[in-house]
Amino acid sequence: MQTVFFRRAARHIADLILLLVPLLVLAGPAGSLAAESQLKPVPSAAPRVALVIGNAAYSRLNPLENPGKDADLIADKLRRLGFEVTLKANRDLKAMGDDVEAFAQAIKQRGPDTVSVFFYAGHGLESDGINYLVPVDADIKRKADIAGRAVSVKRIADRLSSAGNRVNILILDACRDNPFPEGTAAANALLGLAPMGAVYGAFIASATGSGKAAFDGENGHSPYTLALAQAIGTPGEKLEDVFKSVRRQVRLATSEQQIPWESTSIEADFYFVPPAPPPSPAAQLLAAATETDNLALFELLVDRFPGSEEAAQGRSVLAQRQRAETKRAGASTAGEVLARARQVRTPDAFDLVASLFPDSPEAAEARASASRLRETAVLDSAGPTFEGRELISRLQEELTRLACLGGSPSGAFDGQTVGGLRRASLLTDEHYLWHRPTMAALRALRKIDSRDGCVRQKVAASPRCLRINNEDFCQ
């Protein structure tokens, strides 16, 4: 009765768990379901495209070592994350404009759910609050040359936003050192990119702030690109959290000389690597059943979600428990039947144990006990039992009667007695030890007719020998 009560109670608890699970999944940290429902993540199957540009071989400005390598690294990372990547290197002003236009067209063709990434590594600067990326053919001698010979970041953001998709991510690892030779009029142009105003659907990230240079790096990659390549592969990190991690890593790597910034106006949650989906009610119920080892929860799992993988696991657990329970019950019953057989002490009682529970430990004991009882019964019915010299004398008498002794009885268990027992063993189907005196041998000899004795036995051409106490006995 207690087991039934506890199982019913466990089932009521499990029903409560199933009711609470959806609420726990939907409830956010702030406890506002309405607020959370407005944050719709970008579908994980949404198209992903990327344009990656690395400008290093400047013809009229100071060249750079690492932008090409940085572009290769980010392009490879983005491909691994499912992006269709267009990789360009050392682009002049016209080529950069054409690249951006073709990229915007590609975004538009793939639809409003498309996620785009524009990554740029190379020289960049700010002039009159406007951020620019510098093509490799830029011939900038004066501040007035910048607007016509560099590419405005805002124009890139506006063009990508006009494609009609919800998420455009611009990552600018620019502002690397001062691009202008000393003594030129443009040498006083501001390094770094200034934080920008909102452009709908755009997330803009810069390697460093206004008036600061971004390090090109000494190990083949810039600190910003290295931090970005590591962060974008983190599962379950929102876009904003990825760049928080980048900012921290760059700040530490440059001893706080370089502080990245971001500007965003996107409304959807985007994950480079989406988080694992929340566990299903069936999975949560299986976890609860496994942790508590509660059979009632396993039964409820099978009942409520019969076609699920979790239900299959639940059935397996229940089957194992049923077999174990049956085995325990069988062991208990076998023990009771064996205990009765020990009291009765008859071969039939022990045979019953062996037949009912053939594979149990009790069956092995029962078989041995039945065999001993039957042997005792045979011995008791065979007349008196002899041992020692009396047994040897009786054996020699029988061997003499069967003409197997090969000499006169000596009263000692000698070589001729062993040989006689060996020859006589060939006259009967009963097995006995012929190299030692036993009652089994005596009973077997008594059953042999003297007319079938050793006189009529034909000895084999090749003798058979047995070594006993360093003495060979052959027939």
Span 25-36, average pLDDT: 42
Distance of alpha carbon 44 from alpha carbon 266, whole angstroms: 17
Model confidence pLDDT, tens digit, residues 127-151: 888 889 999 999 888 888 889 999 9
CATH hierarchy code of domain 42-264: 3.40.50.1460
Compare 337 and 56 and report the one with higher pLDDT.
Answer: 56
The answer to whether residue 303 scores a pLDDT higher than 60 is yes
Kindly list the domain boundaries of the chain, sorted by start residue. 2-28+277-306, 42-264, 312-381, 394-474
Q: How confident is the model at residue 289 (pLDDT cuts 50, 70, 90)?
A: confident
What's the rounded mean pLDDT across residues 1-15? Answer: 49
Q: Which residues contact 384 (CB under 8 A, 6 or more apart)?
A: none
pLDDT score of 345 = 82
Rounded mean pLDDT, 223-228: 94
Q: What is the pLDDT of residues 413-467, one digit of tens each?
A: 998 999 999 999 898 877 788 888 888 888 888 888 888 888 876 544 345 565 5
Burial of 273 (0-12, 13-18, 19+ CB in 10 A): middle
Residue of 329, 333, 324 whose CA lies nearest to 353 = 333
Average pLDDT of every residue of the chain? 82
Long-range residue pairs from 451-460, CB within 8 A, at least 24 positions apart, any chain:
452/402, 452/427, 453/401, 453/402, 453/403, 453/404, 453/427, 454/402, 454/403, 454/404, 454/420, 454/423, 454/424, 454/427, 455/403, 457/423, 457/426, 457/427
Percent of the chain scored above 70 by pLDDT? 80
Residue type, 411: G
Pick the range with the lowest mean pLDDT from 74-83, 320-329, 466-475: 466-475
The model carries a pTM of: 0.58
Exposed, middle or buried, 350 (CB in 10 Å: 0-12/13-18/19+)? buried
Q: Which segment of 25-39, 119-133, 160-174, 205-219 scores lowest on mean pLDDT?
A: 25-39
User: How do residues 31-76 score in pLDDT, each as one tens digit?
Assistant: 443 444 456 789 889 999 999 999 999 998 888 889 999 999 999 9
Q: Does pLDDT of 204 surpass 60?
A: yes
pLDDT given at position 335: 82
Q: What is the mean pLDDT of residues 368-382?
A: 72
**Mean pLDDT confidence for 187-205:** 75
Q: Is 409 left (phi over 0), alpha (psi -120 to 50) or beta?
A: beta
Q: Reply yes or no on whether the pLDDT at 227 is more than 80.
A: yes
Count of CA atoms in the C-beta half-sphere (13 A) of 310: 21
Which residues, 6+ apart, have CB-to-CB distance to 309 below 8 Å?
A: 282
The whole-number pLDDT of residue 473 equals 60
Rounded to whole angstroms, how far apart are CA atoms 195 and 208?
A: 10
More confident residue, 209 or 445: 445
